[in-house]
Structure 1
Amino acid sequence: MTHAHITAWVVALLLFFVTVSLQRGNSPKARMMQMILRLFYLIIIGTGALLLHSIASIPPLYIVKVLVGVWVIGAMEMILVRASKGKSTNMFWLQFVIAFIIVVYLGLKLPLGFYLS
């Protein structure tokens, strides 16, 4: 299940950056890409919930990782929504970068993650 979760968020990140670039180019396909990205948000949350369910006793850092992961998804969505309305997205880009660094760090640090040698 870990591989499905990682694959889902890697694909979501790629879709996110493609959607951002389509929005900047005023492409009509940006809306469709955003809907596909939202489907991947659900896949990420579902596979993450299944991973969390597979743990016998849930350490507090996993709860923090879940919350920061939802923060990443929220920041991604706010960037796309505000950009489509022509509003400033600087604060949400900053939040996205900070939350993404935290969630990747926790993902690598916790026992279900991968170990970089």
Structure 2
Amino acid sequence: MDLLTNSTHLHIFSWVVGIIVFLIAATQPLDSKGRKILKMVLRVFYILIIGTGLALFIKYMSGDAALYGVKFLFGILTIGMMEMVLARQAKHKPAQLFWILFAISVLITVGLGFHLPFGIKLF
């Protein structure tokens, strides 16, 4: 467990790579084999993101439990919006609303992550 909570490096690496893979998958042709592979890789990164986030949440939530809980919920919401964008695109339905919700939830999650005591003080 110490590997997961020693620092935020693994967690930050996981969500940065996850977002990059998501953006690449979202721009791939809908019926391509590459898109299917990217979606599988993305789901592995979801597990890493949630696992490292949960470990950090458990270790550091005593400082400001409410904000850590809100950040955890927005992190799960971000992953949900990523899946909704890909699912709506696969069904050839409009996904603009989910793109907007994804962008908002990412900004809130990252903003809270930097603001909380274990984060980097940017503001």
Relative to the length of structure 1, the TM-score reads: 0.92
1:18 paired residue number: 24
Distance in 2 (alpha carbons) for counterparts of 1:110 and 1:43: 21
Instruction: Give the ranges of 4+ consecutive aligned residues of structure 1 lying more than 4 Å apart after TM superposition.
Output: none
Which amino acid in 1 is paired with 2:50?
A: I
Q: Is the 8 A contact 1:69 1:99 kept in 2?
A: yes
Query: Within the alignment, does 1:112 sit opposite 2:123 as a pair?
Result: no
2:49 pairs with 38, 44, 48, which one? 44
> 3-state SS of the aligned residue for 1:100?
helix
Distance in 2 (alpha carbons) for counterparts of 1:22 and 1:68: 26
Distance in 1 (alpha carbons) for counterparts of 2:61 and 2:106: 26
1:70 paired residue number: 76
RMSD: 1.4
> 3-state SS of the aligned residue for 1:40?
helix
Calculate percent identity across the aligned residue pairs: 41
Query: Within the alignment, does 1:100 sit opposite 2:117 as a pair?
Result: no
Distance in 2 (alpha carbons) for counterparts of 1:73 and 1:56: 21
Distance in 1 (alpha carbons) for counterparts of 2:16 and 2:75: 13
Gaps in structure 1 of 5+ consecutive residues: none
How much has 1:17 moved relative to structure 2?
A: 0.7
Relative to the length of structure 2, the TM-score reads: 0.88
Which amino acid in 2 is paired with 1:72?
A: T
How much has 1:56 moved relative to structure 2?
A: 6.1
Query: How many residues of Structure 1 are paired with residues of Structure 2 in the alignment?
Result: 116
